[in-house]
Amino acid sequence: MARWCENCDRPVEGDVCEMCGNTVVEPPKESIPWRWRFFIVVTIIYVIWRIYQLISWLSH
Ligand SMILES: [Zn+2]
């Protein structure tokens, strides 16, 4: 993924912008929001609970 020079407002190949000489830092990687992690964990727990209920219902 290309880096972005905020001075020139253009994508930059490499570490330094060839137009203005500005050192371009790599944008921080977006981590998964904690709400999504919470939602995924809750969904997994719910699915396990439903499977458990189904198994216990079938075994009776
Ligand atoms: Zn630049």
Tens digit of each residue's pLDDT (9 = 90 or more) over 4-40: 888 899 888 888 998 899 888 776 677 778 899 999 9
Distance CA 18, CA 38 (A): 43
**Separation of CA 9 and ligand 1 centre (Å):** 7
Mapping DSSP onto H, E and C, the string for 25-43 reads CCCCCCCCCHHHHHHHHHH
**Separation of CA 3 and ligand 1 centre (Å):** 11
Phi-psi region of 52 (alpha: psi -120 to 50; beta: other; left: phi over 0): alpha
What is the model's pTM? 0.44
**Separation of CA 40 and ligand 1 centre (Å):** 40
